[in-house]
Amino acid sequence: MSSHGQESSVIIESASQSKAYIGLHAASGIISFLVAKGILLVPMQNMKTREQFSAQLISDRHIALPPPWFMGLGEELCIQFSGFFLRVGLNSIANKLNLQIPSAATSMVSDVIMYPLVAKRVRNVVNGYGGCIGAQSACPGGETWANWLISVGTFCLYGVVEESLSGVIYDNLVSKYLPFDTASSLYAERFAQSLSLGLAKVVMSPLEALYKHQMYFGSGHVPHTKRENLKSLYKGALLGVGESFSLIYFKYAVYKSLSDLASSN
């Protein structure tokens, strides 16, 4: 529920640019976030998270009652929008101070700050209609600082590896083998980036399931690896491809359409 898009390397260099950038996001940007990172994204995330908590861990009652389509919409928008400006802000501060900080570092700091909200969203999705799975669910991340740090570390590791793997897939696979030139237009580039992130999400599904289980049950919990659970895991992983297109391609499409409309008036 935390994916790093192009904002991992966005930098604001001047006050005028800052006003323009924030103003732009306050109009068409907010709408594109609402559509792509809310209305399109949240239902897929809800279904995927429920799949990652396999049949062995969720009672029949929970499986029969999937979460509402837009459960946690406000939380997810807060996670996505806050995470975006956290990373942009951290990158801009580092640039202002002439610090050569890799984007992965700012992403990790952002993930640590956003962790409590992400963990709360995961627990809410799994609990569904207000039920809960065992007494442990009331103690996210475990009872000790060590357990909490392990859980946060797994979450941050997922974010860094996913972002790096997505770049590797884009450079060495997608951009070379797609039947069209990914540099021919921004739409083509965003499509390729979306596909790369989606493939990275599929590969990273076991680690994603692990950090979500740690958020819910505590850092000592490891998901079962039986065949039916792996099947459920990768059934949910396919939704990660849809997630990626929502986060990158459709967000850009909505943003570009609204920006063009605003400039024509």
Rounded CA-CA distance 189/236 in Å is 26
Tokens representing residue 213 in the block: 């289980």
Give me the pLDDT at residue 98, please: 87
Rounded CA-CA distance 85/223 in Å is 33
Give me the pLDDT at residue 107, please: 86
Give me the pLDDT at residue 85, please: 84
Rounded CA-CA distance 106/62 in Å is 37
- Residue 45: how many other CB atoms lie within 10 Å: 25
Rounded CA-CA distance 38/76 in Å is 7
Distances (CA, A) of 89 to 11, 101, 107, 248, 260: 8, 13, 11, 20, 26
pTM: 0.80
Give me the pLDDT at residue 193, please: 94
Helices 227-244 & 186-203, crossing angle to 10 degrees? 160
Q: Are 196 and 169 in contact (CB under 8 A)?
A: yes
Q: Are 141 and 119 in contact (CB under 8 A)?
A: yes
- Residue 122: how many other CB atoms lie within 10 Å: 24
Give me the pLDDT at residue 88, please: 84
Backbone angles phi, psi at 150, to 5 degrees: -65, -45
Q: Are 237 and 162 in contact (CB under 8 A)?
A: no
Structural domains of the chain ordered from first start = 6-264 (1.50.40.10)
Distances (CA, A) of 80 to 33, 72, 132, 152, 265: 8, 12, 26, 18, 29
Q: Are 49 and 2 in contact (CB under 8 A)?
A: no
- The burial class, CB within 10 Å (0-12 / 13-18 / 19+), for 144 is exposed
- The burial class, CB within 10 Å (0-12 / 13-18 / 19+), for 51 is buried
Give me the pLDDT at residue 12, please: 44
Give me the pLDDT at residue 198, please: 94
Give me the pLDDT at residue 133, please: 46
Give me the pLDDT at residue 213, please: 84
pLDDT by 10s per residue, the chain, length 265: 655 545 455 444 444 445 555 555 556 667 877 888 888 888 888 888 877 776 545 444 444 445 567 888 888 888 888 888 888 888 888 888 888 888 788 889 999 999 999 998 988 887 774 444 443 444 444 457 788 888 899 999 999 999 999 999 999 999 999 988 888 888 999 999 999 999 999 999 889 988 988 888 776 666 665 556 677 777 778 888 999 999 889 988 888 887 777 666 5
Give me the pLDDT at residue 141, please: 43
